[in-house]
Amino acid sequence: MTQKQISPAVKNRLPRYYRYLSELLKNERYKISSGELSKLMAVTASQIRQDLNCFGGFGQQGYGYNIEQLHEEIGRILGVKRGFSAVIAGTGSLGATLAKSGIFSKRGICLLALFDNDPEVIGKKIAGFTVADIRYAAAYCREHKIDIAALTLPKEEAKPVADMFAAAGVRGFWNFSNMELKIDSPGVKVENIHMGDSLMMLCLQLNN
């Protein structure tokens, strides 16, 4: 099953399925029913069956889903084993936290470098990386064929830095800079993360 055949709504749920299936495998579970998965994920069993039917014959009546095979297929679609490489631009509290968290390696992404423009930060060690001057980021990205740049920068710096990365061949941007980043380069994808929006959604649920 190719990505083009999967609806956008199902695509948006894929990372969540992958996360839950990863935890199940970690706990040495190898099969699960849609009802059991429904209780874990707070998604209806009917929706789960519809979603997972997109990936072929993983579900069998009386048996459930083969977790290992399903995890492998969803991981393939998500590009987990493509070996994507990443850098972080901006090593304040959020950038440093991302570097230390292991979030990249857990999803098959190789974090290779950290960059900043603050002289007091450049040269310091964070999560085993020596923070490099962002002036050298473009050359580094060209040399190492970097796929993803995580931007944990002030919003006024995000666009020029992103344009620099895009010109150096970076195709994916994970943007935490609190602005709606758009890059007009062919093949470039941007995931804008607005943590304030998520917080307000929580407030909305509490309010209702």
68-121 per-position pLDDT tens digit: 988 998 998 888 888 999 999 999 999 999 999 999 998 899 999 999 999 999
Per-residue model confidence (pLDDT) at position 1: 47
Q: Write the class of the CATH domain 3-77.
A: mainly alpha
Residue 172 has pLDDT above 60, yes or no: yes
| Domain boundaries of the chain, sorted by first residue | 3-77, 83-197
181-195 per-position pLDDT tens digit: 999 888 999 999 999
Per-residue model confidence (pLDDT) at position 61: 61
Q: Cβ-count burial of 5 within 10 angstroms (0-12 exposed, 13-18 middle, 19+ buried)?
A: exposed
Tokens for 90, please give them.
């901006």
Residue 158 has pLDDT above 50, yes or no: yes
Instruction: Decide: pTM greater than 0.85.
Output: no
CATH superfamily placement of domain 83-197: NAD(P)-binding Rossmann-like Domain (3.40.50.720)
Q: Answer yes or no: are the C-beta atoms of 16 and 22 closer than 8 Å.
A: no
